[in-house]
Amino acid sequence: MPLSGAARPHHAYQQCGLARAATRGCCGYLHFSGVNHATPAVFYAHVPERHAYHEIGRQLTLSGFDFFAGSDILKHQSENGDKDLYQQAADNGYKIVRGYDEFLQQANRQKKLILLSRSATVSRTIYAIPYKLDRKPENLSLEQITQAGIRFLTERQKGTQWLFLMIEGAARLIWLPL
């Protein structure tokens, strides 16, 4: 992460290597927080400021990646009247599923998928996937989204030479109170 706070330097608007590669294989990203958080954004977005969640989310829907998973889509509503990010994702071929049970029902029928927590609203309590001690039965776990990503991408890998799945979970350790 550059010291400027940019998810990627804003002068580097060329398509990143993974986004280009996503057109030739299976590509996915999962994160313990929102799918359009700045940490995963370095793989598919170019924004001048790390908190530009709506713009990061817009670029997510255009990335060509096959699979995303996380707690939710952060700041999905546009401040300038554009379509919200859920609609932009649907318009670009992504099926949004909420919860692991819905994933199991829908995954085989989809080409591109975004797996999110069951609740439809990002709040303080679901900004990130809960710790195991705090998790309720309806909450996603990092283990579930990892299994979902591997399953979804390996089923789509047939006919391609590779797949890429980035799993971001360790950063959650720095959020622990001391």
CB 29 within 8 A of CB 37: no
Q: What is the pTM of this model?
A: 0.82
Q: Is residue 44 very low, low, confident or very high in pLDDT (cuts 50, 70, 90)?
A: confident
Give the residues across from 115 on adjacent strands: 69, 97
CB 97 within 8 A of CB 86: no
Does 43 have pLDDT greater than 50? yes
Res 104: pLDDT: 95
Res 90: pLDDT: 95
Average pLDDT over residues 13-27: 60
The predicted-structure confidence for 110-158, as pLDDT tens digits, reads as follows 999 999 988 754 444 457 888 788 888 888 888 999 999 999 998 887 6
Res 75: pLDDT: 80
* Residue 73 to residue 54: CA distance in whole angstroms: 9
Q: In which residue are the tokens 């975004």 written?
A: 114
Res 146: pLDDT: 93
Does 67 have pLDDT greater than 90? yes
Res 118: pLDDT: 80
CB 132 within 8 A of CB 115: no
Q: Which of these, 104, 134, 102, lies nearest to 119 by C-alpha position?
A: 102
Q: Is residue 18 very low, low, confident or very high in pLDDT (cuts 50, 70, 90)?
A: low
Res 13: pLDDT: 42
Does 102 have pLDDT greater than 90? yes
Res 47: pLDDT: 83
